[in-house]
Structure 1
Amino acid sequence: MRRLVLAAAFAVLAPLAQAQTPPAPSFVPVPDNAILSTNVTGLAVTNGKNEKVGSISDVVIESGRLSGYVLSVGGFLGIGTHHVVVAPAGIILSYDAPARKWHARIDATKDQLKAAPAFLYEGRWGK
């Protein structure tokens, strides 16, 4: 009887386990104009006056595509920090090859970013 119950359970659960198996990986080259998330997280963001207005603390990926940058604005040592999400088109990323350094620019002041709607690291995004 026990074997019959185990066989029945296996027959029901085996297809479910197979349905959750990921597809075989496909490997892709990284184009020369690509940017890795490690290149931008922590990157200082400056405005047109070369003033630091924040830093990129995270990237937002939706349906496999970059949909925003989380900027950390203000605060000191994490206290009083305000996070906002900016569309990718709002940030210009560039690479200075001789200096081997990435740069991020935005057309906004620190006050404008502080006044923007806050992004909170809560729920599924809690840190």
Structure 2
Amino acid sequence: MRRIALSLILLSAVSGTAMAQDKPSFLTSHDGDVMTSNLIGLDVYNRGGEDVGEIKDVIIDDKTTVRGVILSVGGFLGMGDHYVAIDPAALDVTHDDAKNEWRATLDATKDQLKAAPQFEYKAKQKS
């Protein structure tokens, strides 16, 4: 099983030559890269194996730095969702090659996440 720190994964996916330039830069993916499409919707578990939330979004600052990961905590079928922004370094993302599945782990309880400050989307952030 490969263990990958989310901050490094996402940072490598959007960093480097993505800054404004006269002409576009083109990239290729590397073995350790993870696409955000594999992360959005991924359930997040705590160290005790309890499902504590779901990855809903990623905050990218200045087009090159992953600043946060938005989790949905405590909702049911999209109702009553409590969104929290966490530091990407706090989230461990692993891939089980044998099962071909991703797993996200966070050292927090569901109650701690529910008590965390709510992340509010601003109008221009949501399409």
Alignment partner, residue 81 of structure 1: 81
Secondary structure of the residue that 1:26 maps to in structure 2? coil
Residue type matched to 1:110 in 2?
Answer: K
Residue type matched to 1:27 in 2?
Answer: F
Residue correspondences, number: 107
Alignment partner, residue 68 of structure 1: 68
Secondary structure of the residue that 2:111 maps to in structure 1? helix
TM-score by length of 1: 0.79
Question: CA offset at residue 122 of structure 1?
Answer: 3.0
Task: Name the CA distance, whole Å, in 2 between partners of 1:41 and 1:98.
Answer: 21
Task: Name the CA distance, whole Å, in 1 between partners of 2:79 and 2:43.
Answer: 18
If each structure's helix is expressed as a fraction of its own residues, which one has the higher value? 1
Question: CA offset at residue 23 of structure 1?
Answer: 2.5
> C-alpha root-mean-square deviation of aligned residues, in Å?
1.5
Instruction: Find the structure with the greater CA-based Rg.
Output: 1
Q: Is 1:118 the counterpart of 2:118 in the alignment? A: yes
Alignment partner, residue 23 of structure 1: 22
Q: Deviations over 1:71-98 (max 9, x none)?
A: 0001111111000000011100111111
Task: Name the CA distance, whole Å, in 1 between partners of 2:99 and 2:66.
Answer: 26
Residue type matched to 1:38 in 2?
Answer: S
Residue type matched to 1:39 in 2?
Answer: N
Task: Name the CA distance, whole Å, in 2 between partners of 1:72 and 1:23.
Answer: 38
Q: Percent identity?
A: 43
Secondary structure of the residue that 1:76 maps to in structure 2? coil
Question: CA offset at residue 123 of structure 1?
Answer: 1.8
Instruction: Point out which structure has higher relative CO (alpha carbons under 8 A, 6+ apart).
Output: 2
Task: Name the CA distance, whole Å, in 2 between partners of 1:124 and 1:41.
Answer: 20
Question: CA offset at residue 66 of structure 1?
Answer: 1.0
Question: CA offset at residue 28 of structure 1?
Answer: 1.5
Alignment partner, residue 104 of structure 2: 104
Task: Name the CA distance, whole Å, in 2 between partners of 1:67 and 1:32.
Answer: 23
Alignment partner, residue 53 of structure 1: 52
Secondary structure of the residue that 2:108 maps to in structure 1? coil
- More divergent stretch after superposition (92-101 vs 22-31): 22-31
Alignment partner, residue 10 of structure 1: none
